[in-house]
Amino acid sequence: MGKLLLKIYYLISPLLFITYIPLFLFTRTRSFSIKTFFKRFFPQIPNFKNSIIFHSSSVGELNSIKEMINIFKEKYPQKPVIITTFTETALEMARKITPNSFLIPFDTKYSINRFLKNANPQFLFIAETEIWPALINETSKRANVYMINARMSEKSFRRYLIISPLIKETLNKFEKIFAQGQDPYNRFINFVSKEKVIITGNTKYDSLKESEIKLKDELKKINFEGRKIITFGSVHPDELEIILKSFILLKKEIEDIRYVIVPRHIEKAEIFKKIIKNFNIRYSLLSQVKDEDRFKDLYETEILIADKLGILMDFYQASQISFVGGTLNKIGGHNLLEPSVYSKPVLFGPNYKNQKEAAEKLIENRGGFVVSDENDIKARIKILLKDRKKLEEISINSKKTLEALQGASERIIKEIGIS
């Protein structure tokens, strides 16, 4: 039954992706343009030999496997490392790791094999939740395929049960599935044998390392240096109102408090501007900070919208307390332990279903706290800023929580048998 469903998928998948044409014609984002449509349907890449492919759909997934990629580059300098991504934003970041970075082809048998013919992979590592039947089945004929940081939500699990034969046929093509924790392990073993699934943790914690802050000049220009900075990272537009309301409450009691808001998607910075304009708050855009003549009023900035790629960790480092977004809406949370790299207390909303392990450990170790609304945010920040001893204690707990969860990359390498 699984093989039959796979054949049917191969027959209909080109038609499915052709229906995307209107999206690529009328959407203005870089990831969905008519140019990228043809790149995905008819991929053209250089010829490689015995390559190692890492597929990560988004920026978040790419960040989570950076350490794994670096280890392979170190272990196998003679083997080309290829990164594939779904979004152009992730592709831009991938090219900073290796020039051999490309958009993932559409999941049709033709497009995938056209890509694989030139890639000539020895290994394919797929991050987190990407179950593409053509990619996995066709690559498994040429290379060893692994899933790393594997997770499966309850919603996905119920959906996969409907097409269980196809999912079983596809997942059994993996050599190993390296699960983030017990919950995904329990779901995956409904489709494959227990021997195929191993709990190794999440490599994203291994990628979290300290680096020197690069934004000192920008912080001076906007008069943030020496202020009480609270960084709100990976924020979505529908979380912004609560955050802004908390600022209005706090600035009545803490005069030198400043917020940095880092959008999850920087292309949505204009939406953030429109929302902030409804509040009586002075704000600036990081992308425009360097133009000193035009922005002489930056010294009055209360909230900075950090609309640049690759600066989130810098602002976590520069802040006293951090909040991680995707937790005040239905997203389910982003990487809660990024602020822990720099020993920062971590605040996050009640919806952390995608970050359950990190959230539970932070709460258990008193390195982080759940905040549900503007009053919670205000109260927790006020307590921490007023009590220096408590702030230091929770900062230490935050760092210890991260350290206890690291090491997944080495565990995976050991299981694969790389010496």
CATH number at residue 162: 3.40.50.11720
Mean pLDDT in residue range 241-250: 98
Looking at the fold, whether 90 and 185 belong to one and the same domain comes out as: yes
> pLDDT digits over 347-390, tens only?
999 999 989 889 999 999 999 999 999 999 999 999 999 999 99
Looking at the fold, whether 179 and 325 belong to one and the same domain comes out as: no
Mean pLDDT in residue range 107-119: 96
3-class secondary structure, 230: strand
Looking at the fold, whether 106 and 138 belong to one and the same domain comes out as: yes
Looking at the fold, whether 194 and 283 belong to one and the same domain comes out as: no
Query: What angle in degrees, to the nearest 10, is found between the helix axes of 240-251 and 269-276?
Result: 50
Mean pLDDT in residue range 34-63: 88
* Tokens describing residue 82: 């290829």
Give the number of domains in the chain.
2
The DSSP letter of residue 322 is E
Mean pLDDT in residue range 256-276: 95
3-class secondary structure, 369: strand
Which of 182, 207, 232 represents a domain boundary (last residue)? Answer: 207
Percent of the chain with pLDDT over 70: 92
Looking at the fold, whether 180 and 236 belong to one and the same domain comes out as: no
**Among 102-106, 114-118, 207-211, 331-335, whose mean pLDDT is lowest?**
207-211
Percent of the chain with pLDDT over 90: 71
Looking at the fold, whether 178 and 242 belong to one and the same domain comes out as: no
Name the helix (H) or strand (E) containing 340: none
Statement: residue 64 has pLDDT above 50 = yes
> pLDDT digits over 154-206, tens only?
999 999 999 999 999 999 999 999 999 899 999 999 999 999 999 999 998 99
Q: Which domain holds residue 137?
A: 2-207
Looking at the fold, whether 277 and 351 belong to one and the same domain comes out as: yes
Statement: residue 270 has pLDDT above 50 = yes
Predicted local distance difference test score (pLDDT) of residue 223: 72
The residue ranking higher by pLDDT, 81 or 13, is: 81
* Tokens describing residue 260: 């940095």
385 domain residue, yes or no: yes
CATH number at residue 323: 3.40.50.2000
415 domain residue, yes or no: no
Statement: residue 317 has pLDDT above 80 = yes
Which of 207, 237, 269 represents a domain boundary (last residue)? Answer: 207
Mean pLDDT in residue range 257-272: 95
Residue listed under structure tokens 């040429």: 142
413 domain residue, yes or no: no
Looking at the fold, whether 33 and 86 belong to one and the same domain comes out as: yes
Give CA–CA dist 145/136, Å, rounded. Answer: 7
Looking at the fold, whether 335 and 312 belong to one and the same domain comes out as: yes
Looking at the fold, whether 188 and 238 belong to one and the same domain comes out as: no
Predicted local distance difference test score (pLDDT) of residue 288: 82
Residue listed under structure tokens 């359950």: 356
Predicted local distance difference test score (pLDDT) of residue 41: 86
Average pLDDT, the chain: 90
86 domain residue, yes or no: yes
Tell me the β-bridge partners of 230: 259, 321
271 domain residue, yes or no: yes
Predicted local distance difference test score (pLDDT) of residue 294: 46
Looking at the fold, whether 222 and 189 belong to one and the same domain comes out as: no
pLDDT band at 405 (very low <50, low <70, confident <90, very high): very high
Say how many C-beta atoms besides its own lie within 10 A of residue 2's C-beta.
Answer: 17
Which of 187, 207, 227 represents a domain boundary (last residue)? Answer: 207
Sequence-distant contacts of 211-219: CB under 8 A, at least 24 apart: 211/313, 213/314, 213/317, 213/318, 214/311, 214/314, 215/311, 215/314, 215/315, 215/318, 218/286, 218/289, 218/290, 219/318
Sequence-distant contacts of 136-144: CB under 8 A, at least 24 apart: 136/170, 136/171, 136/173, 136/174, 137/6, 137/169, 137/170, 137/173, 138/109, 138/112, 138/113, 139/53, 139/112, 140/173, 140/174, 142/116, 143/53, 144/175
414 domain residue, yes or no: no
Statement: residue 101 has pLDDT above 70 = yes
**Among 34-43, 69-78, 86-95, whose mean pLDDT is lowest?**
34-43
CA dihedral 278, 283, 284, 285 (to 10 degrees): -50
Predicted local distance difference test score (pLDDT) of residue 293: 45
331 domain residue, yes or no: yes
Give CA–CA dist 384/97, Å, rounded. Answer: 38
Q: Is residue 12 packed enough to be buried (19+ CB in 10 Å), middle (13-18) or exposed (0-12)?
A: exposed
Give CA–CA dist 241/261, Å, rounded. Answer: 12
Considering the entire predicted model, what is its pTM? 0.75
> pLDDT digits over 121-151, tens only?
999 999 998 899 999 999 999 999 999 999 9
Looking at the fold, whether 192 and 281 belong to one and the same domain comes out as: no
81 domain residue, yes or no: yes
Statement: residue 308 has pLDDT above 50 = yes
